[in-house]
Structure 1
Amino acid sequence: MRVINLSDLKAKFDSLEGNHIGSFDDWTQRAEQCLNVIRPMNKKQRSNYWAKNNIWRELYPALSELSGHKCWYSEAPENSSEWEIEHFRPKAESKSEEGAVILENGYWWLSYSWTNFRLAGSLVNKLRKDRFDSGNEVYGKGNFFPLDGIGLAQTGDEECDCERPLLIDPIKPRDVTLISFDQNGEPYPTYNETDNLLYNKKALLSIKFYGLDHKPLTRGRSKIWANCEMAVKKAHNIIKNNINDPVRRDEKIDECFLLLHNYSKYTEPYSMIVRNFVKEKIKDDEYSWLKEVERVLV
């Protein structure tokens, strides 16, 4: 997971859709009109209205552009499977990590708020089992939106500043650092319970509800890790055997840095694995030459 700059959505939308369905400002006006329509409705009526007036789908191309056409949560590449615009704060009902209902009517007032939209692969958003695993674990965020209990937003609160969500939000820079990955592509909390109990819990719950340990995802990440390992191994071999040829050494380091830079681009799948790879590799003093690559990762 890497941070998404949601403030760029207006510019992306206008550049892609402005000549077809109107400007982003036009869209927000229509969204406000839809919100006003559902204000007096009950839960069932709102659900029926959303099904026929899900204009957030019009933002799909722009939201996809923001992430380099990848799921905002898993960094899996966009493909032929069903992708969705997910409401970070669930619009119809919200539940705790145990499944208890927190808000029976959800955050319905944010159902047309573009600041509440996230692009998610269906494996992240919908509840389902991993068909590649014989276990009974269910993956998917669904209506789960656990809070730490310090506050609960009231109807109409657009900022929800009183809440502390226990799921990682890809638009928050600090949040995306809370999960790391190992050489097998397996996710784990960056902080243990002793270091930071809250961050540890957010990571564990996010791994669970976003299905970040889903087998196809771990395989994809491990492949990128292996590509990084191969690039560094080749460069390191040249470095060790050309001690008296600094020009040759620098050439191989440059080639390796360029490969790692390209793997870390926001358009590349599972790009954050590159930072995790480098972080682990430079713990070995033998790879001290690799430390400078952190400056060119994107």
Structure 2
Amino acid sequence: MIYVKRSAGLIPPDLLNSAMVAEQQLERLPPEQRADFIRAHSHIWRAFKRYLSEMSYGKCWYSESPEAQSHLDVDHFRPKLEARRSENFCDKPGYEWLAFSWDNFRLSAQLSNRPVRNEETDATEGKGSWFPLVEGSPKACWDDRCVGREQPMLLDPANLDDVRLIEVQADGRMGPSKFCLGTDRKRVQTSIVRLGLDLPRLKEARLRVMRHVGELCEALGELIEAGSDDEGFADKAPTKRLMKALRDKTHPCEPYAAAARAQLRAMALDQLCIAPEEV
């Protein structure tokens, strides 16, 4: 998971307006008609897919999987029709008033968005309608839309503070970063399961990136060592090209850039990671 910077400027005004009109129509409906209205207008949020994809360079906002390798859904971060808080409790309705709010949309690979069995653990993972809250958190509803005071258990890729809590581990799995303490560690573990972040094929994809980055780092190290006492060799060596290749691996447009960044940190070369101001 890496931070996704959202931009309303990428979305056509006509599409934003159609979503706003649907919101206004929904507001005027009695409670018993809202769910059917939302289902009948699913084409509105699906129309945002292209523009959400542009914001994340064609990658799932949760897993960093590229669109070419994964069917992507427009996920409602706060579920629209029901919100499952635990195995035994589900709030119905969910966050109906956010059904057409593009602020609530996240682009998600189907393996992150839909329930799926983890082949390694045999557990069911995937977000579905899951949206647990930290114990004691306020809970928003139609009559009290206090989403700004809610404390979700799931990490949000559109929230930079959340993204800083999670990182790729040496074995390709996701885990808490050094900045993650207390309740945030539970949030990371919950997010890993509910967003399907450690499914076997996803873990293997990260490891492939990490191995490639490791090989490039070793080659770079050999060039630096060989050129340290030989100015002629140093001038001809493709050192800068290798450094650029490593930096490019950490760009947000690259699949599993978080894995590339983690490998560079592990090899004490994190200065080669692309800085936020360079994107």
TM-score w.r.t. length of structure 1: 0.84
2:73 aligns with 84
Correspondent of 1:120 among 108, 113, 118: 108
Is the counterpart of residue 107 in structure 1 residue 107 in structure 2?
no
Between the aligned partners of 1:48 and 1:80, the Cα distance in structure 2 is: 33
Q: Which amino acid aligns with 1:169?
A: D
Q: Which amino acid aligns with 1:61?
A: R
Between the aligned partners of 1:270 and 1:219, the Cα distance in structure 2 is: 11
Correspondent of 2:37 among 35, 49, 62: 49
Correspondent of 2:14 among 1, 19, 23: 23
Change (3 A) 1:134 1:80: closer
Q: Unaligned 5+ residue runs, structure 2?
A: none
Instruction: Report the number of matched residues.
Output: 274
Contact 1:95–1:146 at 8 Å: present in 2 too? Answer: yes
Q: Name which of structure 1's ranges 27-36 and 62-71 shifts more when overlaid on structure 2.
A: 27-36
% of aligned pairs identical?
30
Q: Unaligned 5+ residue runs, structure 1?
A: 15-21, 283-289
Q: Name which of structure 1's ranges 142-151 and 26-35 shifts more when overlaid on structure 2.
A: 26-35
1:137 aligns with 123
Q: Which amino acid aligns with 2:105?
A: F
Change (3 A) 1:51 1:79: farther
Superposition deviation, residue 150 in structure 1:
2.5
Q: Which amino acid aligns with 1:267?
A: C
Contact 1:84–1:122 at 8 Å: present in 2 too? Answer: yes
Q: Which amino acid aligns with 1:114?
A: W
1:273 aligns with 259
Change (3 A) 1:81 1:153: same
Change (3 A) 1:295 1:220: closer
TM-score w.r.t. length of structure 2: 0.89
Superposition deviation, residue 25 in structure 1:
4.1
Q: How does 1:1-298 map to 2 (within 5 A)?
A: 1-6=1-6, 8=7, 10-14=8-12, 23-37=14-28, 39-42=29-32, 45-54=33-42, 55-79=44-68, 81-101=70-90, 103-130=91-118, 133=119, 135-148=121-134, 149-158=136-145, 160-191=147-178, 196-246=181-231, 248-249=233-234, 251-282=237-268, 290-294=269-273
Greater than 4 Å deviation, 4+ residue runs: 156-159, 246-252, 295-298
Contact 1:87–1:118 at 8 Å: present in 2 too? Answer: yes
Between the aligned partners of 2:275 and 2:220, the Cα distance in structure 1 is: 17
